Chains A and B, each alone.
Chain A
Amino acid sequence: MEFGFTTAAYVVSAVLFILSLGGLSGQESAKRAVWYGIVGMALAVAATLVGPGAGYWLLSVLMIIGGGAIGYQLATKVQMTQMPELVAAMHSLVGLAAVFVGLIAHIELTRVMGMDAATREGLSGFAGLLAHKSGVEISILRVELFLGVFIGAITFTGSVVAYGKLAGKVDSVAKKLPGGHLLNIAAAAIAVVTLITYINTGGFFPLFLMLLAALFIGYHLIMGIGGADMPVVVSMLNSYSGWAAAAIGFSLGNDLLIVVGALVGSSGAILSYIMCKAMNRSFVSVILGGFGGPQGEQMAVEGEQIAIDADGVASALEEADSVIIIPGYGMAVAQAQQNVAELTRRLRAKGKTVRFAIHPVAGRLPGHMNVLLAEAKVPYDIVMEMDEINDDFPTTDVAIVIGSNDIVNPAAQDDPNSPIAGMPVLECWKAKQVFVSKRGQGTGYSGIENPLFFKENTRMFYGDAKASLDALLSKIS
């Protein structure tokens, strides 16, 4: 009777979770959909507390309240520019929780296996569930919890490193230990060997060894990936945290965990795929880290970078009818989104068409730029995706590039030998005039020269994005 109720609650929760993800197809429906998720989660937790998780329920509730308080603090304090860090940090918690739950399953399994048949019959709760399993089921259970711990551990250390890189606490340059991917392969081999041993013996040692190997893989893999590939990494870790949940769901025989894990896992996988496609790189090449060297002689860049001051930009903006702004990670770093939004408001007040062009990999998190602009109260209906706006550049008077580089690099189209050849880019150089707000004359993440900066219709607006925009705003009423 109790279990029947719990299962029913799980069905409702699962439906609510699917609706809450589906609702994210539009800005308005998303506001409603998040409530579906919240209700679904509350229902699932409550049903578990009442049903199979009734033991020590007070402790559970206290722990949830404690965790909730911290979560509340985090969610209300976090700056929107810090979203990537927050997401990475949260992934690490899911990963660690998966490891813990997997370990408990192992401990309990060992305990139950040690009992005689009569005692087993008397067990209830989680241990009781384990007690009724047959030999093959036990083996499968071992594989499941092994996988859960493995993926959870990779997610944990990987997310911690990703957090460190995104928060600037770890150097974001791609780094590998001597030995490179051989170390990863060795660690993976250890995991396979320990898996086989574990299925046969069920001992703690192989599990522990695998845990160490997985922790190492997570750390080393993400250390080897550079800052601009973080959108892919974060979505990949998102995906992993889902798969870990699904694996744990199998070992616990809990369908809701499986459903939700699969939803989250596929969501992260799709995001990774979208990000990779936007960089025209295969998933494997991103994960293995770093750009390949150029495949041949790169086109020489001719011309010179011509600088311009705020007065020049202001007068060009006064004359322009249509403006497209292309924000990038540099805008987030300089915290310039409020100034960008203010500029947009003033230009729109003069009756000019102002729009934003967002490249899928702009920023450090999928959709990062959209959130920053939304925070600065830029209406979302003037924030366009690359495919929506790329054809409009030729009819645009002014394109302003703020803190992006590789995503507006014409070499991706013109130079077949360029390392980023074939990557879809925003064709801002087709606008009548392009202004690039940039710190200095350096190259982008990929380390390649950007011919955009040398084009005849491009003017460089050097300086910190925020300071430059401040100067610009003082010229535009």
Chain B
Amino acid sequence: MKIGTPKEIFDGENRVAMTPASALELQKLGHDCVIETKAGDAAGFSDKSYKDAGVEVVKTAAALWKAADVIAKVRVPDADEMKRLRADQTLISFFSPVADDDKMKSAAKKGATVVAMEMIPRISRAQKMDALSSMANIAGYRAVIEAGNHFPRFFTGQITAAGKVPPAKVLVVGAGVAGLAAIGTATSLGAITYAFDVRPEVAEQVESMGAQFVFLDFDEDQKDGSETGGYAAVSSPEFAAAQLAKFREIAPDMDIVITTALIPNRAAPELWTEDMVKAMKPGSVIVDLAAEKGGNCKLTVMDEKIVTENGVTIIGYTDFPSRMAAQSSTLYATNVRHLLTDLTPDKDGKINHNMEDDVIRGATIAHASAVTFPPPPPKIQAIAAKPKAAVVELTPEQKRANEVAAFKAQTKSQVTLLAVGAFLLLAVGLVAPASFMQHFIVFVLAVFIGFQVIWGVAHSLHTPLMAVTNAISSIIILGALMQIGSGSFIVVVLAALAVFMTGINIFGGFLVTRRMLAMFQKS
């Protein structure tokens, strides 16, 4: 199959869906690669570097669309490109099945197959193809860098000869992939970072990145995000109010606010209200990564940077990945390459579009002249962690009380046992003759000693213990020895046999014990 990547025609888009490195990998799968001239220029990949990687470079977009069986690109195709898409061609690109509904339908009508990178299911196996995550990672990083660009102070606190510099305080709202990347970047620049998310279970991840999680005083069972494919669900009005109150409280302290809160297929929730912006210090920066979906702050202007009356800069860019085209192209091209690896299971250069496969099925929105969106739920669900059973922490008093109770119970059972034992003994003593009682005392004491001694035996020596008890239980030989000389022939025979058998046992038991014990050696 021929994989082709055209130059992105969307204004300001610098990324490219194929890099020389990914082209080499694709060729290993048995595919041929073709690229439009200058497609990689904006991302820093020259035509020469593609040619060196064995990629055919064609002059025009028209020629490329004609030559390639599979088109890999970044942005959703525009009207012209949609015209070029033909039957039996596979298109791999970002493609929102909701926003670009008519394009999806026309592609299906043509008989083309469309694989939308946005629709890759969020399961472990598909992580390597998850372009949304790899782009979000870049966006999070870049958001901090952009904020720093407009922030008039240091991130890190310093004590210099010219005076003390306080560290910047950064709040990241939404600890998804972008949020976590932003937290990591901000903390490594030295800022004091706070983070908030409606999913309390991410607190651990947040803290592992070096930020403090902002907890709300709010009791409500939040849905585990893993149940909803790793995205946050819509929160209740009460929760939203508590959340806003918390933000209002901390807004004056924050120097940089990065909002990343998005809910799939909905407008971005408003989290940073006008009055919070007003409460912030002049020079503060807000980066709204949700600008494309209306913004988490209502003052945000999409694709623009504005400064409010009180001197707060609000950045509403939506092209963060494109601003780091070399990096984002590398990651995106790798995502595409992984997807093609799954589409080429036999590595023979033939695409096998397996609609039974969870990942491929989920991402395919048009196939075999039909719209295949929405996909059925994947067979493998991301496994949500079970809610942990609350372990009741005992107070020292309770522990003490438990100990006392246990001790009392123990004393009680011990005393009862002793009493019953003593009573039985006395009862026996009432009827039994003295000669019996003498032996009986010996017996009871021996059992007592036996219990005391045997508890001390090491577990690892239980087999030798059995062998040695075997040998010494043959002490019964004494009985036979005493009887052998007394009386009739049958007595002699039986006694002699008993002596014989116990003889086997005594020698066998002791010798095998010795043999075993000699084997136990220390390292």
Footprint of B on A, CB under 8 Å? 14, 17-18, 20-22, 24-27, 30-31, 34, 37-38, 40-41, 44-45, 48-49, 52-57, 59-60, 63-72, 74-76, 78, 80, 83, 86-87, 90-91, 93-94, 96-98, 100-101, 103-105, 107-108, 111, 125-127, 134, 136-137, 140, 234-235, 238, 241-242, 244-246, 248-250, 252-268, 270-271, 274, 358, 360, 365-368, 370-371, 374-375, 377, 379-383, 385
Interface pair A59/B492, CB less than 8 Å apart: yes
| Binary A-proximity of B431-456 (CB < 8 A = 1, otherwise 0) | 11101100100110011011101111
Interface pair B505/A93, CB less than 8 Å apart: yes
Q: Does B507 contact A (CB under 8 A)?
A: yes
Whole-angstrom distance between the Cβ of B475 and the nearest chain A Cβ: 4
Given contacts A86-B512, A97-B480, A257-B479, whether A264 and B472 have CB atoms under 8 Å apart is: yes
Interface pair A67/B460, CB less than 8 Å apart: no
Interface pair B447/A262, CB less than 8 Å apart: yes
Beta-carbon contacts under 8 Å, B469-487 to A: 469-487
- Per DSSP, chain A at the interface is helix
Whole-angstrom distance between the Cβ of B476 and the nearest chain A Cβ: 5
Contacts A53-B482, A65-B503 aside, 4 further interface pairs with beta carbons under 8 A come to A245-B475, A370-B462, A380-B460, A380-B521
Bound Cα distance from A268 to B497, whole angstroms: 25
10 tightest Cβ-Cβ pairs between the two chains A and B:
A55-B485, A67-B503, A367-B462, A379-B523, A71-B507, A266-B450, A71-B508, A53-B481, A75-B511, A366-B462
Interface pair B461/A67, CB less than 8 Å apart: no
Given contacts A27-B517, A93-B505, A253-B439, whether A64 and B465 have CB atoms under 8 Å apart is: no
Contacts of B443 in A (CB 8 A): 246, 249-250, 258-259, 262
Bound Cα distance from A90 to B459, whole angstroms: 21
Given contacts A257-B478, A380-B520, whether A21 and B436 have CB atoms under 8 Å apart is: no
Given contacts A21-B468, A104-B483, whether A256 and B475 have CB atoms under 8 Å apart is: yes
Interface pair A266/B447, CB less than 8 Å apart: yes
Instruction: Write the chain B residue with the least CB distance to A134.
Output: B433
Whole-angstrom distance between the Cβ of B449 and the nearest chain A Cβ: 6
Bound Cα distance from A264 to B467, whole angstroms: 11
Residue from A96, A266, A382 in contact with B454 in the complex, judged by beta carbons closer than 8 Å: A266
- Per DSSP, chain B at the interface is helix
Interface pair B504/A67, CB less than 8 Å apart: yes
Question: Which of B442, B446, B476 gathers most chain A CB within 10 Å?
Answer: B476
Contacts of A26 in B (CB 8 A): 458
Whole-angstrom distance between the Cβ of A24 and the nearest chain B Cβ: 4
Contacts of B402 in A (CB 8 A): none
Contacts of A74 in B (CB 8 A): 504, 508, 512
Bound Cα distance from A45 to B502, whole angstroms: 11
Whole-angstrom distance between the Cβ of A152 and the nearest chain B Cβ: 9
Residue from B449, B471, B519 in contact with A374 in the complex, judged by beta carbons closer than 8 Å: B519
Interface pair B451/A254, CB less than 8 Å apart: no
Contacts of A57 in B (CB 8 A): 485
Bound Cα distance from A101 to B455, whole angstroms: 31
Interface pair B466/A249, CB less than 8 Å apart: no
Instruction: Write the chain B residue with the least CB distance to A371.
Output: B463
Interface pair B495/A104, CB less than 8 Å apart: yes
Whole-angstrom distance between the Cβ of B23 and the nearest chain A Cβ: 32
Given contacts A87-B466, A256-B478, whether A93 and B504 have CB atoms under 8 Å apart is: yes
Contacts of B521 in A (CB 8 A): 374, 377, 379-380
Contacts of B512 in A (CB 8 A): 74-75, 78, 83, 86
A–B pairs, 16, beta carbons within 8 Å: A24-B468, A41-B471, A53-B482, A56-B484, A59-B496, A60-B481, A60-B499, A67-B506, A68-B507, A71-B507, A74-B508, A93-B474, A97-B505, A105-B479, A274-B459, A360-B459
